[in-house]
Amino acid sequence: MRLGFVGTGTMGAPMAGCLIDAGHRLAVYDINPEAVHAMCARGASAADSPCAVAQQSEVVFTSLPGPREVELAALDPAIGILAGLRAGGAYIDTTTNAPAVARRIAEACRSRGIDMLDAPVSGRPPTMTVMVGGDDGVFAKYRPLLAAMAGSIFYVGGAGSGCAAKLVTQYLGYTNFIAAVEGMLIGAKAGIDLGTLARIVPFSAGASRTFDNIPRSVLPGSFAAGGTLDIVAKDLHLACDLAREVAAPAHLGLLAHDVLSRAQAQGWGQEGFPIAARILEAAAGAELRAAVEEMAPYQPEDPRRRNG
């Protein structure tokens, strides 16, 4: 199949690579020429705009930083994807996007006879998770393309639903991270050895995949795990906006976003998001540093092992 990919950066490049490995012909565009050159070295062809990608493609994917970039790439009347994609084609956005923006683009696609799915992702190809919003028939039609990049694929509902599901998972993960840092600071100030505490938590009610960032990244002082602070702050902001839109509480999210915003104000936006721990460390007057033994990744508890 003739496919297009707009945004071949940290996430887009491995996804696009999976599509090439699956035997599809791929046209690519990115604002960074080096990212395009890397994909061309794998067999893709370069295009000079999202529109030019679409003109060569039956289905176009995007993987972009956020809503503003998606709207520009999709809807710009001169260089946008919809300016070049023919009726009967499809547009699949894998960005962590605002549901309202996804719905607006879906309506613009519908008016042009183009299918659209919002399909944000979590994890890394080829085993990542995809959460899909859009028409169920469209989802069924293009599921094989998603399966070339992902190990777990969930159909969530109508347009914007995939984005909403992704924002919920981001809300859970990053509020959890801030709570984990605060918990470790309580332990530090209570005199508990942090290396020992880090080994206890995975076997307790505090266990989570998000907590794994503490021993991996915060205790060694590297702050390198996960996405950048700017991306995580954007995602949490979108999640809090969604909460307001649907009249749901988001107290923890607002507090967590305040911590992330304070870290951004320090100029740390392009650092790994765990660097936000330094804001809480400063407030507590304590640092979370310790030598930590190699730890196994978090595994959900088997309920049959609970003692009641």
**Residues belonging to the active site:** 166
Pick the closest to residue 229 from 269, 266, 176 (CA basis): 269
Distance separating alpha carbons of residues 46 and 162, to the nearest angstrom = 29
201 close to 209: Cβ distance less than 8 angstroms: no
Q: How far apart are CA 212 and CA 217, in angstroms?
A: 8
d(CA 160, CA 139): 13
Backbone dihedral angles phi then psi of residue 3, each to the nearest 5 degrees: -120, 160
CB atoms within 10 A of CB 81: 31
- Could you tell me if 40 and 28 are in contact, meaning their C-beta atoms sit under 8 angstroms apart? yes
